[in-house]
Amino acid sequence: MQNSPGTSAAQASAATLQPMWMKDSMAKMDRELAAKYGEPQRPRILRGLHQIAEFWRTEDGDAAVYEEFVRSNFAGEQATIDTMFNRFERLLEQLDGHMHEINHEFRQQMDLDLGPVRPYDEVFGGYDPSAHIIDDFFQNKLAFTVLLNFPLTTLDERLKNGATWSRRQWAEVRLAERFSKRIPAEVNLGVAQAEAAAGQYISEYNIWMRHLLDSQGQRLFPPKMRLLSHWNLRDEIKADYADAQNGSAKQHMIQQVMERVVTQTIPKIVVNNPSVDWNPYTNEVKPAAVADSDSAPSAENVNSSREPDTRYAMLLKTFVASKKADPYSPTAPTLIARRFDEDREIPEVRVKAMLEQVLTSPLASQVAKLIESRLGRPLEPFDIWYNGFRPGSKYTEAQLDEIIGKKYPTAEAYQKDIPNLLMKLGFSPERAQYVASNIVVDPARGSGHAMGAEMRSEKAHLRTRVEMGGMNYKGFNIAVHEMGHNVEQTFSLNDVDHTLLKGVPNTAFTEALAFVFQGHDLELLGLPAPDAKSEAEKTLNDFWATYEIAGVALVDMAVWHWMYDHPQATPKQLNEATVQISKDIWNRYYAPVFHKNDVVLLGIYSHMIDHFLYLPDYPIGHMIAHQIEEQMKKAGNIGLEFERMTKMGDVTPDLWMENATGHPVGPEALLVATQRALSHASQ
């Protein structure tokens, strides 16, 4: 965002950090280098000098130190530029790779099924040996060497010119980008502390469901049910569709609880507290009449005074901490810009337009009608979490468990079968062998995950869980997903032409690619692929989830803008603003479909409080997944397409997607698939 609020203020404070002598020394070095290397090098010289000036501080050295540094580190001829580029590329691969290997080893005990985790294992696992690299590289001036010779770019430039850049130019851009910020350690620490405090607040925000009373004093929820806001509350709404007797009453009650959280009219005393009963409609609180926890303390000072805007105080702290980094990030001078221009690399205006395209699509009311007909009633606001679109299967989970348990009694059996599985997905025998030789299967402690390498001499790890009786269907389904990650990780590291371009544009891409594999798990077992009806259900489920989370993302975005526009706001004011924003977005996009106004549910997401404008990643992820899926269908051969797409590496999402599918990132593929799904879905 070039015009984000706060931009001019950020620039002003960055300028005041510059030493007094800088201007004169820059002019002097400009003359000197131009005389030495000739007029054609002038633009590079000026660019390098300006890029250094953005970050040079008094403690980096006086004018003499600066001038000597520039004199000896400017590469003014193609041969010296090439040498420098190649050296940095090779050594940074080694640095990233070895740091990652330390991490990989240090996490081993926590990640793998290797017996008890000791307290020191957790400390090893939490340690990040690379945490201070950027600071170190500014201190030893390697960062300045890069900034003197390679271009910092804005997202605008990458989007406008990126398609015409050579691969080498792209690699140079990514090299410089590593040093586009020089955030002081204490500012980073402040961000980490605000994040930890908000995370802690969220992680303890439980509602004891047995203690919720309806107007008849009835308890609708079972004993010992403790639900974390918002994830568990939302998932309980989903589960309650299956409860014909009390489901609807429970869903209404959870909605009421969520609204009280968003508006902060929730009594402070009921949060994470099994010693009180609460009627969320009247807000009456009483000492608990039933014991639902062995450790519940007896209730003291029972009253219904509301939570004092703590939710928004937490959010404000993350904002205040983030804002302190603004002056040190000249090419992305707000948290909003850093999220969209650097992390996502899709401009905020375009993201907003894509979300609105989904939200205003006539498909929304068509899917809504289908849901109403399946539910046999008009929609309620909590139906944004409707979960009745389910792909059917010819096989029961027990049947699948049996087939898979026989096939894969151990993790080794799965490892051995990887080349075979890849050939079923269309990889040639030679490519399948090659990829398989770069994947190591480990027994996971949890459900499973993929850990790629960061240098070409190392392998990707597939962590999967195999029970005593052999692998079950859930484990297989996850292993296939993780294998998709590993295959992407292998191509995008080992087969991309520059290691500075390793990877994919962002996590939405790697997830989308992994889901392509996962969606074909039945065929990998030699069973028939899901039929059109089953696929239609899956697509409708994706559409409805995207429709829901698109509104949530717009709330997240609007709230961050409001904070930048009101940097002095109190938690109470932020509360009022968030409630109003949630209502406005609901009224605009959902009220026409749900026929109810002023709903605040879109403000309930916990990630909004502790994740620094992360929520737009979800709907974009759904869109990307459908674009890749449609392309795979069109191409017919997953193996070849997968390799072709992933060798593109870490360029902007739009450029990657243009190369992959012929179109930039957008919701069209999802909308087309939804339209098609509607014609296959039964009432």
CB of 445 to Zn ion, least distance (A): 17
DSSP tag of 212: B
The three-class DSSP label of residue 324 is coil
Query: Helix (H, G, I), strand (E, B), or coil: what is residue 395?
Result: coil
Residue nearest to Zn ion (CB): 514
- CA–CA dist 325, 191 (Å, integer): 9
Stretches 278-286, 315-323, 509-517, 602-610: which one binds Zn ion (CB under 5 A)?
A: 509-517
CA 15, chain centre distance (Å): 33
Provide the minimum distance between the beta carbon of 115 and Zn ion in the complex, in angstroms, as a whole number.
26
Cβ-based nearer residue to Zn ion, 518 or 575: 518
Look at residues 130, 680, 23 and name the one whose alpha carbon lies nearest to residue 367: 680
**Nearest residue to 312 via CA among 579, 613, 32, 649:** 579
Phi first, then psi: what are they for 468, rounded to 5°?
A: -55, -45
Stretch that binds Zn ion, among 35-43, 44-52, 71-79, 507-515 (CB under 5 A): 507-515
The 10 Å Cβ neighbour count of residue 350 is 16
Nearer to Zn ion, 371 or 514 (CB): 514
Q: How many CB atoms lie within 10 A of CB 611?
A: 17
Closest contact distance (angstroms) between CB of 477 and Zn ion is 12
The 3-state DSSP class for residue 463 equals: strand
Nearer to Zn ion among residue 137 and residue 476 (C-beta)? 476
CB atoms under 10 Å from CB of 297, counted, come to 9
Nearest Cα neighbor of 70 from 87, 56, 91, 90 is 56
Minimum CB distance to Zn ion, residue 584 (Å):
34
Q: What are the tokens at 461?
A: 């790890």
In the complex with Zn ion, the residue whose CB is nearer, 155 or 508, is 508
Q: Output 348 or 488, the one with its CB closest to Zn ion.
A: 488
Query: Which one, 488 or 548, has the nearer CB to Zn ion?
Result: 488
Nearer to Zn ion, 241 or 614 (CB): 614
Task: Tell me how far, at minimum, the Cβ of 414 lies from Zn ion, in Å.
Answer: 17
Residues 385-404, one symbol each (x = binds Zn ion by CB under 5 A, - = not), give --------------------
What character string, x for contact with Zn ion (CB under 5 A) and - otherwise, covers 331-350? Answer: --------------------
Residue 314 engages Zn ion in binding (rule: CB under 5 A) = no
Position 508 contacts Zn ion (CB under 5 A): no
Smallest distance, Zn ion to C-beta of residue 418, A = 17
The closest of 428, 432, 550, 534 to 483, measured between CA atoms, is: 432
Of the two residues 452 and 666, which places its CB atom closer to Zn ion in the complex?
A: 452
Q: Which is nearer to Zn ion, 511 or 535 (CB)?
A: 511
Nearest to 275 by CA among 258, 292, 261, 260: 292
Instruction: Please give the helix or strand (H or E) that residue 277 lies within, else none.
Output: strand 276-279
* Shortest Å distance, C-beta 495 to Zn ion: 21
CA distance linking residue 651 with residue 505, whole number of Å:
6
93 versus 511: smaller Cβ distance to Zn ion: 511
Q: What are phi and psi of 453, to 5 degrees?
A: -90, 170
Q: Which is nearer to Zn ion, 367 or 483 (CB)?
A: 483
Q: Candidates 134-142, 417-425, 506-514, 590-598: pick the segment binding Zn ion (CB under 5 A).
A: 506-514
Contact region with Zn ion (CB under 5 A), list: 79-87, 280-288, 514-522, 579-587? 514-522
| Count of helix runs (H) and strand runs (E) in the chain | 31, 7
Query: In whole angstroms, how close is the CB of 631 to Zn ion at the nearest point?
Result: 19
678 sits in which H/E element: helix 668-680
Using the contact rule CB under 5 A, the part of the chain among 412-420, 421-429, 505-513, 617-625 near Zn ion is: 505-513
Kindly tell me which residue out of 84, 514, 554, 559 binds Zn ion, with binding defined by CB under 5 A: 514
Size of the site for Zn ion (CB under 5 A): 2
- Specify the stretch interacting with Zn ion by CB under 5 A; choose among 192-200, 299-307, 512-520, 596-604: 512-520
At closest approach, how far in Å is the CB of 450 from Zn ion?
7
Output the CA torsion sign for 473, 479, 482, 483.
negative
Of 141 and 481, CB closest to Zn ion: 481
Residue 33: what are its φ and ψ, rounded to 5°? -70, -35
- What one-character DSSP code corresponds to residue 227? E
User: How far is it, in rounded angstroms, from Cα 311 to Cα 152?
Assistant: 38
DSSP 616-664: THHHHHHHHHHHHHHHHHHH--HHHHHHHHHTT-SS-HHHHHHHHHSS-
Give yes or no for a cis peptide into 230 (omega within 30° of 0): yes
By beta-carbon proximity to Zn ion, the closer residue of 451 and 593 is 451
Query: Of the ranges 24-32, 499-507, 511-519, 571-579, which one interacts with Zn ion (CB under 5 A)?
Result: 511-519
Contact window for Zn ion (CB under 5 A) among 135-143, 178-186, 513-521, 586-594: 513-521
CB of 483 to Zn ion, least distance (A): 11
User: Could you tell me if 111 and 445 are in contact, meaning their C-beta atoms sit under 8 angstroms apart?
Assistant: yes
Q: Compute the least distance from the CB of residue 488 to Zn ion, in Å.
A: 10
Per CB under 5 A, the segment of 196-204, 266-274, 295-303, 503-511 that binds Zn ion is: 503-511
- CA–CA separation, 233 and 231 (whole Å): 6
Q: Please give the residue ranges that form the binding site for Zn ion (CB under 5 A).
A: 511, 514
